[in-house]
Amino acid sequence: MVTEKLRLMAVHAHPDDESSKGAATMARYVAEGVDVLVATCTGGERGSVLNSKMDRPEVWRDITGIRAKEMERAREILGVKQAWLGFVDSGLPEGWLPDSGIDLPEDCFYLEPLEVASAPLVRLIREFKPHVVITYDEDGGYPHPDHIKTHVISMEAFDAAGDPERYKEFGEPWQPSKLYYHMSFGRARLTALHEAVLAEGLESPYGEWLESRDWTDDKGERVTTKVECASYFPVRDEALKAHATQVDPEGFWFRVPMEIQQKAWPTEDYELVKSHVATTKPEDDLFAGLR
């Protein structure tokens, strides 16, 4: 049982990912007194401007600086700390997959050697000493090169940070107790939201998604841990809207009324992948076994 202040680290690929994945969970834990740190692997330098209202030449000229300011505002809203790992966005060329043969920029995060890419995260884990780490699953949540690389370095750093024989230049080892994957878009969650919207006589944004998607590998079935955080969904949305280059405040992600979201699916969901403490599944707390 941990008697000191609990600490949580969330590892993300780009500025804005922290606000679209697990943001309400982080806001809840901050409110409970947990120390929360977001590690952002890249600056989003090669990202697109996805909000048409922000698609202007002056934005493109300083996309890196603008995204850094958006990140600053989002972390203030969420109440979290945040650190940049310093790598360069890989971009997402059309048709790219790990085995597609499509080239990525030579200076990008995805092409960094494993130990080079993992080193800043190992150092950060040893400095911050998180009890729990959250990251992406084996395909990055979706197959973006930076998301996949974020998964790879998270797996490496989770183990290496606790090994006194590795990365010795970064000080005393620290072994986080638990590692989780985000599990955002399982069929059960989308179905619950879809049906709740229809029950209110509204048009659902999820109908085509549910019908067209191949559900043979439904990641929702891998969920081990559901964190109740519905009261922090408005904080999540405010943080997401802070990333104005990436999110249209009138767009897809905000079409389901807040009250319906909070009632139909009041949790954010995770898969417990590694644990050095005893815990019982299913869980309702990322710190189960540590409190």
Residues annotated in a binding site:
14, 17, 147
Q: Is the dihedral of CA 121, 139, 180, 278 positive or negative?
A: negative
Comparing CA positions, the residue from 110, 116, 114 lying closest to residue 97 is 110
Helices then strands, counting H and E runs in the chain, come out as: 10, 7
Residue whose token pair is 């982080």 = 26
Cα–chain-centroid distance for residue 161?
20
Residues 81, 38 contacting (CB under 8 angstroms): yes
Strand bridging mode 178-182 / 7-12: unpaired
Strand bridging mode 178-182 / 132-135: parallel
Length of the chain in terms of residues written: 291
Distances (CA, A) of 40 to 9, 10, 243: 11, 9, 14
Annotated binding site for Zn(2+): 14, 17, 147
CB atoms within 10 A of CB 251: 12
Residues 97, 42 contacting (CB under 8 angstroms): no
Please state, in angstroms and rounded to a whole number, the distance separating the CA atoms of residues 124 and 39.
8
Burial class (CB in 10 A: 0-12, 13-18, 19+), 285: middle
Cis-peptide, bond into residue 282, ω within 30° of zero: yes
